[in-house]
Structure 1
Amino acid sequence: MVFLRRIFRAFQYRDFRIMWLGACVSTIGTFVQQFAQSWLVYDLTKDPFYLGLDLFLGQLPFMLFSLVGGVFADRLDRKKMLLCSQVIQMVCAFALALLFFLHVVKVWHILTLSFLVGVGQSFGGPAYSALLPTLVGPEDLANAISMNSIQFNLARIIGPTIGGLAYTALGATWCFTLNGISYLAVIVSLVVIKVKFVPAKTQNSVMKSMHEGIRFIREREGLTALVVLAFCTTLFGFSLSGFLPVIVRTIFHKGPETYELLLVCSGAGSICGALIVAAMERLKGQGRIALMTLSGLGLATAGFAFSRWLPLSCVLIFLSGMMVMASASLMISLVQLIVADSMRGRVMSVYNLAFRAGIPLGALVMGKMIPWWGVSKAVSGFGLALVGVAVYFFIVLKNTGTFRKLA
């Protein structure tokens, strides 16, 4: 009982419990829509290019506007900013449901709405990242971040399951409608919670405020290293799941059921990794643990690339999912502990941009490497590169103030 209380200790805070539940319901709705939207785009176009374009347009606003969103998260009421973001995304979901119900939906409608949802997320993301630490005490921040990771991974498993059932039984219209309804959970939670943050008044321009955030990262020991590590983690460590269909078909010569099995193993590992971090008290040497976890992720990825025995591959992808989530949770909690609250929105926008930018870039590079090297060598190369990054930071930063700050 005491162990369980330690794992879930962030839930002792009323506002965090409410926000967690609202975010979990909304994220489930997002995955329900993603399931139906992918099928709809392909049904309308019969061209896989538009699937990639839809994903790209959904990510593009984050790349363009998240730094500006970070500035606004430090200048404006974060709760109201997040409310506006959720309303934008809810309207887009209901608009797509209406277009499909009326049988007038075109692919350009979907692409446009994906871009608008991305715009909402690019401002809502920094606001949410900055809001989360204000809901718990500093000693429970790492636990709260782990709990937040758990809700995302639970939604990643539950959402597509509900999406598949709703799509088969009720049709795509209800998938989009359910997502629209799910945003009400976040909106209600935001209305109910009490946020202590009061934005400081400033006459600085948006560009000057952005420069202040970047300068803060450069001057504060440990932050630059964490931003670089975040980028390298997603660049080399997140590409495996995107190319699982290639491994399933070319190495195991199996069908979708094996792909689903490996995804479930990865998701289960992610939840376990988040639970392990949640159970940890704030440790001395947390930076070292993060680097060791990254090394383990790289080795598990390399081992998975050359495995030809499915049970071993299931174990290795479980371990990689666990270490992905553990390392990500450890690093983001270190960032949140280092940063000042007045700079939190800007710093988190830069960190999140680095974290997310590595995913499409890594996928693009690996997509080019696979035809040259083969999928096993390409995936293992990425895994060993991640080990090299972790070892580099451990050796170079070992005796510096930066490493002590990471610890």
Structure 2
Amino acid sequence: MVQSTDQAQNAQVSSKNKNSSGRVRRVLRNRNFLLLWLAQLISLTILNATNYGVIVLVNNVTQSVFMAGLAIISFTLPAIPFSAIAGAIVDRLNKRQVLWVSNILRMVTVLLMFVCIVFNRSNLWPLFLLTYCTSLIGQFFIPAEGSSIPLLVGERDLMPALSLFNISITISQALGFLILGRLVTSLFSPFTVYIGKLAFNVQSIDMLFLLVGVLYAVCAGLILLIPSRCFAESHLKQEREPRGDRTVKETLARLWADLGQGWRIVQVDNLLFFSVVQLSVVGILQLLIGELAGTFVQQVLHHPPEDMALILAPAGIGLVGASILMTPLTERIGRIRLTLIGFISLAVGFLLLPAMQWLSLRLDPVHGASSSWLLWSVILLVTLLGVAMACVNIPTNTIMQERAPENGRARVLAFQFMLYNAGSIPVLLFAGAIAQFLGFNLLIVVLAVCMFFFCFWASRFGKRQPERRLQADSTPNEQQRPS
């Protein structure tokens, strides 16, 4: 009897694994999703490459940490005031139109960057302004893209689709920051363009912006290859009110109501609120890892800051590898439980980083800091941290997508992105100063303790079953239903 029960359980697990792999293959055979996925991969890669190019140009011209900080703020600041507004607007527009138009507009701004750099390399303020505008346009692209995924694949295949999108996010960061920028500077040598009596010197890094502009046009073409009927939404069909009859005051009042409605949609659903907060915290942690990677490599591993790929690459490998296996993991463990396991693993992993350095110095006070044992232990641990990130990111993202109503999904995504960026800007500005003031190891311990407190909150809050889900165009008293 026991043997037959074990065989039945093994057969059930095997059937689930086959079903999960079948879902991934089915999603990849979905032509429309594949086009959106390619557009996302290319657009995120060139976005990261653009940010890389801006930082390199600022450092080459000014050699100023403060100016480099302004460059980073210029492409992160727009998300705070505008992402929620963009989400409210996108909810009432055709997603396909928003996607291809935003890519064309970003193509224009990046090509203007190229022109400004070639004309006057020393004046960085036009570059900052155009970077800000490019990021501002991206605030419309992000919620439109995120809310398009369920329209193209349906809720049945949402988990594998989001896993693939999460993989492309990680890959695009590596391609944009570590590969594309350096590849372009290696392929193109500096040259001079003569227009009449004027001579314009074009450096290798300048060609990156020209290439990015061309690739934004490619992304727009990929979106246009998706039939418009695939983006059809029932709530858009119901809105036939002539917009020309509205006054400016009425339009602003409607927009303000939409912003408040986005918060109410999140607030009224415990699981949705939980997923929005948790995704924002994990995103800030990922940003913090990227910010502190150079310092960690320099102070703990005693390598030059340029070797921070020793930290970022294993984390990316762990994140991508776990993303591929996330569907069967969530089916076996459960989404909420898996996210809590992932967060606890992150906190423990952060604590183990300074503990490994301490143990290495205890075993070998002379050469412990530069020992190969410490290096490989850190690489293995960071890989596991990447796995833990995936265990939090993908299930939480899936919960957010499923809980958000169709006609308010873009507002929810924009609200989450705004919350993430509102927390990430202080990290960008003060993480280095805090590490210097408290000491790097003490900062790691403080972060780990904060994560344990967050795990305690999440374990209690995540267990509350939501009593209702608020539709975007209703009030809490008008429409509620049990989950």
Matched residue, 2:42: 25
Structure 1 residues 147, 8: closer, same or farther in 2, change over 3 A? Answer: farther
Matched residue, 1:48: 65
2:325 maps to which of 276, 288, 302: 276
Q: Distance in 2 between matches of 1:395 and 1:221?
A: 11
Matched residue, 1:211: 260
Q: Distance in 2 between matches of 1:249 and 1:104?
A: 32
Q: CA deviation at 1:96?
A: 1.6
Letter in 2 for 1:267: G
Partner SS, residue 302 of structure 2: coil
Cα shift readout 1:226-262 (whole Å, capped 9, x = no counterpart): 2222333334554122111111112222114532222
Q: CA deviation at 1:319?
A: 1.4
Cα shift readout 1:361-387 (whole Å, capped 9, x = no counterpart): 344454343233210120232123212
Q: Distance in 2 between matches of 1:326 and 1:396?
A: 18
Cα shift readout 1:187-241 (whole Å, capped 9, x = no counterpart): 0121111312252426861001111221122112312222222333334554122
Matched residue, 1:118: 135
Computed over aligned residues only, the root mean square deviation of the Cα atoms, in angstroms, reads 2.5
Letter in 2 for 1:384: V
Structure 1 residues 280, 178: closer, same or farther in 2, change over 3 A? Answer: farther
Q: Is the 8 A contact 2:98 2:141 kept in 1?
A: yes
Write the mapping of 1:375-390 to structure 2, written as runs, cut at 5 A.
375-390=440-455
Q: CA deviation at 1:141?
A: 0.7
Matched residue, 1:163: 181
1:228 maps to which of 274, 277, 282: 277
Q: Distance in 2 between matches of 1:306 and 1:294?
A: 19
Q: Distance in 1 between matches of 2:84 and 2:355?
A: 39
Q: Distance in 2 between matches of 1:342 and 1:321?
A: 33
Matched residue, 1:319: 384
Matched residue, 2:406: 341
Letter in 1 for 2:185: Y
Structure 1 residues 391, 365: closer, same or farther in 2, change over 3 A? Answer: farther
Partner SS, residue 401 of structure 1: coil
Q: Is the 8 A contact 1:31 1:163 kept in 2?
A: no
**Residue 63 in structure 1 maps to residue 80 in structure 2:** yes
Structure 1 residues 183, 105: closer, same or farther in 2, change over 3 A? Answer: farther
Q: Distance in 2 between matches of 1:33 and 1:236?
A: 22
Q: CA deviation at 1:87?
A: 1.6
Letter in 1 for 2:218: A
For normalisation by structure 1, the TM-score amounts to: 0.91
Structure 1 residues 231, 155: closer, same or farther in 2, change over 3 A? Answer: closer
Cα shift readout 1:316-337 (whole Å, capped 9, x = no counterpart): 1111122223311111110111
Q: Distance in 2 between matches of 1:144 and 1:58?
A: 27
Q: Is the 8 A contact 1:85 1:120 kept in 2?
A: yes
Partner SS, residue 78 of structure 2: helix
Q: Which moved more, 1:13-22 or 1:274-283?
A: 274-283
Q: CA deviation at 1:156?
A: 1.7
**Residue 401 in structure 1 maps to residue 465 in structure 2:** yes
Q: CA deviation at 1:67?
A: 0.7
Q: Distance in 2 between matches of 1:396 and 1:175?
A: 46
Tell which structure's C-alpha radius of gyration is larger: 2
Q: Is the 8 A contact 2:274 2:462 kept in 1?
A: no
Matched residue, 1:133: 150
Q: Distance in 2 between matches of 1:33 and 1:364?
A: 20
Runs of 5+ unmatched residues, structure 1: none
Partner SS, residue 67 of structure 2: helix
1:96 maps to which of 113, 116, 130: 113
Letter in 2 for 1:276: L
Q: Which moved more, 1:318-327 or 1:17-26?
A: 318-327
Letter in 2 for 1:269: G
Matched residue, 2:3: none
Cα shift readout 1:24-78 (whole Å, capped 9, x = no counterpart): 1222222333333221111122212111101101111111111111111111111
Q: Which moved more, 1:194-203 or 1:388-397?
A: 194-203
Letter in 1 for 2:454: V
Structure 1 residues 141, 102: closer, same or farther in 2, change over 3 A? Answer: same
Structure 1 residues 351, 387: closer, same or farther in 2, change over 3 A? Answer: same
Q: Which moved more, 1:290-299 or 1:220-229?
A: 220-229
Structure 1 residues 210, 274: closer, same or farther in 2, change over 3 A? Answer: same
Q: Distance in 2 between matches of 1:257 and 1:397?
A: 40
Q: Is the 8 A contact 2:266 2:272 kept in 1?
A: yes
**Residue 371 in structure 1 maps to residue 455 in structure 2:** no
Q: Which has the higher helix share?
A: 1
Q: Distance in 1 between matches of 2:342 and 2:317?
A: 17
Q: Is the 8 A contact 1:303 1:380 kept in 2?
A: no
Q: CA deviation at 1:116?
A: 0.4
Q: Which moved more, 1:130-139 or 1:298-307?
A: 298-307
Q: Distance in 2 between matches of 1:404 and 1:397?
A: 15
